[in-house]
Amino acid sequence: MISFRLLGKWTSLVLISAALAALLRLGGLPAAELLGPMIAGMFFALRGVVLHVPRSVFSGAQAVVGCMVALTLTPSILTSLGRDWPIMVVVVCMTIAAGGVVGFLLMRLGSLPGNTAAWGMSPGGAAAMTAMAESFGADVRMVAFMQYLRMFVVVLTASGVSRILLGHAADLPGAYSWSPDFDAPLVPLLQTLALVAGGVLLSGRLRIPAAAMLLPMLAGAALNSMGIVTLVLPHWLLWTAYASLGWYVGMRFDRETVLHVLRTIPQMLLATFLLIGLCCVSAWLLTVWPGLDPLSAYLATSPGGLDSVAIIAMGSGCDVGFILALQTLRLFAVVAAGPFVARLVCRISGVSARGSGIAP
């Protein structure tokens, strides 16, 4: 009887999550496949429905996100990185520093707990930051909310800026595919799943925070770029990983956390706009140094939403290769430097690097 009741709860959660994700996707919101399950998980948790995502499933979702990051490193992007790497390195360092400054100000002047502000304002890789934050002691619920609020604001501002500079809305290429991609090539799929499984198994043996994501990301980037393996991420695998992350985060919310989130939204919005403003300095540098056009420079330095920025760039006639190369380099850099920056900001602020401040 208990098993049927539990099955009924999970079935309801899956159906509601799918419906919310579809509505968010139709509304054009980014990361709908993660936000829908997260909202559904929050609703179930606040209603007192007790469900748990196993830690191994969460680690598997981290590993899939790591493969997704690795998949962004394509030969064309490597070519662009090799040609323009000096200015890209400078801009990426400026962007990471901007995120650290904004996180520091939030920690000192705002009301966010512990090192959550440092992780929540990391400029890029929202899914990766959410997947890694808990391993480093941050409140994963607050980090997820901050990251996706920032992504939403960044996408809206990027769309608005492209409309202002172009004089019309960017032409978005192609419609979103609802196919689960069950016909993905078998050998590349098995290689990808082996990389995911290896990340999960090794993460249980190595004392490296977020190893389940970092190991597949580094190994996958190297092997895929050298042509040794071919990574493939069919929609059903990404949807499963995103849903697992969303449920893991959403079902940890309680009334106290929701009230705290609502109180801190003005701080988060102010911090997001400050981060965007600081990134505009990097955009101005790109227009001066390599002579990039203003829209390409702005999109290349937008702090988050690699996939959404890519869609806007491809529909606006910008320098897509440069934009994707810089966004990809920043994504790798943010994921690699995130723990160091968070610790540094916490040390300067006099806050524990592993204290979240809100009980899970």
Q: Kindly state the greatest CA–CA separation across the chain.
A: 68
Residue whose C-alpha is closest to residue 302's, from 204, 160, 157: 157
Query: Do 29 and 35 meet the contact criterion of CB atoms below 8 Å apart?
Result: yes
Q: What is the DSSP letter of 357?
A: S
* DSSP sequence for 239-250: HHHHHHHHHHHH
pLDDT at 41: 92
Within 8 A by CB and 6+ apart from 10, the residues are 51
SS (H, E, C) 89-130: HHHHHHHHHHHHHHHHHHHHHCCCCCCHHHHHCCCCCHHHHH
Enclosing H/E stretch for 74: none
- The CA distance from 129 to 244, in Å, is 15
Roughly how many angstroms between the first and final C-alpha of the chain, as a whole number? 29
Domains of the chain: 2-349 (1.20.1530)
Q: What is the mean pLDDT of each run of 10 residues along the chain (360 residues)?
A: 80 95 81 86 89 88 86 78 87 91 85 75 77 78 84 78 67 63 91 94 78 86 89 92 89 83 88 92 90 88 74 70 84 81 78 49
pLDDT at 245: 87
Enclosing H/E stretch for 355: none
- The packing angle between helices 211-225 and 320-349, to 10°, is 150
The angle at the Cα of 358, spanning 36 to 353, to the nearest 5 degrees, equals: 105
Query: Do 298 and 284 meet the contact criterion of CB atoms below 8 Å apart?
Result: no
Query: Do 127 and 244 meet the contact criterion of CB atoms below 8 Å apart?
Result: no
pLDDT at 107: 82
pLDDT at 358: 42
pLDDT at 357: 45
Question: Which tokens hold the place of 213?
Answer: 């994501």
- The CA distance from 62 to 70, in Å, is 12
